[in-house]
Amino acid sequence: MKILANDGISQTGIDALENAGFEVNTTTVAQEQLINYINTNNIDVILVRSATKVRKDIIDACPSLKIIGRGGVGMDNIDVDYAKEKGINVINTPAASSHSVAELVFAHLYGLARYLHNANRDMPLEGDSKFKALKKAYAKGTELKGKTIGILGFGRIGQATAKVAIGAGMNVIAYDPFIDEGDLELNFFDGQKLNFNIKTISKDDVLKQSDFITLHVPAQKEYVIGQPEFEMMKDGVILVNAARGGVIDEVALIDYINKGKVARAALDVFEKEPTPEIQLLMNPALSLTPHTGAATNEAQDRIGAELATQIIEILK
């Protein structure tokens, strides 16, 4: 059995698969060459992350495929239903990267709250000549403790984010059209555990009450946050989108930053990946990362191990 991990896979995953007798190929094949490569090499399993797309054309043209695997949560780059109709197993790793994404959200939140994204740009350039001016410019930070964080989308990643927020002393409110409540267990270094029950509320209430808002929703046809939603928010709100590009109206975001409604925001994902709009890249009110929510060594090890386990169970 041959596996093509086109967007890579951790050594943990490779070892598990090879120990089970599979041949693992980590060549990165260009999208337009995938069909020929899969057929020439009789590939049984293709593993992707967000870069490679597995659409109807590949599914129809590659009869050797038995499994399509997504290292991560969202599968909007795979024609899932069509693949299943054709008898192909489609797998993903919904729990493996939840905590990594949650930590990135808080890396952005702490950075935005204390202007680290700006200070880290300015200090190398002007720290020796304008130290006092920079100190004054960035002296109006805010603490997260005691503030309200609104979580839009309360699945695995949203709940993982809520756990970090509780640990930071924040008030957590959440909205999810499909989830009424979340039971969260926090585990501490000394073996203690604490349980919290968070009941979801309306989207409008989350928007109106939150000092900080973070999105953890799948790709959708309409914006989750657009002009009407910005109007409901508190003045000076801080936003984070580490979910999917296109769930926030980026043009409206810049407009509401300019109006002062949104103080600052963080984007890990963009409507136009991998070429985000220049007005986003150059805006000093934005903290930006290049879609690295799940990009930790620990998460990639968990993803590789989880994919390997599922493949072995299906094919052995």
Q: Specify whether 41 is located in the same domain as 132.
A: no
φ, ψ at 96 (rounded to 5°): -65, -35
144, 166 Cβ separation under 8 angstroms: no
Tally of structural domains, the chain? 2
CA 20 to chain centre: 31
Catalytic-role residue among 114, 117, 271, 273: 273
83, 43 Cβ separation under 8 angstroms: no
Catalytic-role residue among 244, 250, 264, 306: 244
**Cβ–Cβ contacts within 10 Å for residue 8, how many?**
16
**291 catalytically annotated:** yes
Contacts of residue 248, defined as CB under 8 A and 6 or more positions apart, other chains included, come to: 215, 223, 224, 225, 226, 239, 241, 267
Residue 265 is part of a domain; what is its CATH number?
3.40.50.720
Tokens of 40: 């020439």
Q: Specify whether 273 is located in the same domain as 202.
A: yes
Q: Specify whether 192 is located in the same domain as 280.
A: yes
- Confidence band, pLDDT 50/70/90 cuts, at residue 48: very high
Q: Specify whether 169 is located in the same domain as 264.
A: yes
Q: What is the pLDDT of residues 134-147, one digit of tens each?
A: 999 999 999 999 99
- Confidence band, pLDDT 50/70/90 cuts, at residue 30: very high
Q: How many angstroms separate the first and last alpha carbons of the chain?
A: 10
Tokens of 228: 């009407």
Q: Specify whether 143 is located in the same domain as 270.
A: yes
Q: Specify whether 265 is located in the same domain as 162.
A: yes
pLDDT over 90 at 74, yes or no: no
Q: Specify whether 112 is located in the same domain as 158.
A: yes
Q: Which of 151, 276, 145 is nearest to 206 (CA)?
A: 151
Q: Specify whether 103 is located in the same domain as 88.
A: no
Q: Specify whether 192 is located in the same domain as 234.
A: yes
Catalytic-role residue among 70, 291, 302, 306: 291
Q: What is the pLDDT of residues 275-304, one digit of tens each?
A: 999 999 999 999 999 999 999 999 999 999
Q: Specify whether 118 is located in the same domain as 88.
A: no
Owning domain of residue 250: 98-288
246, 272 Cβ separation under 8 angstroms: no
Q: Specify whether 70 is located in the same domain as 163.
A: no
**Cβ–Cβ contacts within 10 Å for residue 103, how many?**
17
**250 catalytically annotated:** no
283, 276 Cβ separation under 8 angstroms: no
User: How many whole angstroms separate alpha carbon 124 and alpha carbon 248?
Assistant: 32
Q: Specify whether 191 is located in the same domain as 267.
A: yes
**49 catalytically annotated:** no
Q: Which helix (H) or strand (E) holds 240?
A: strand 237-241
163, 174 Cβ separation under 8 angstroms: no
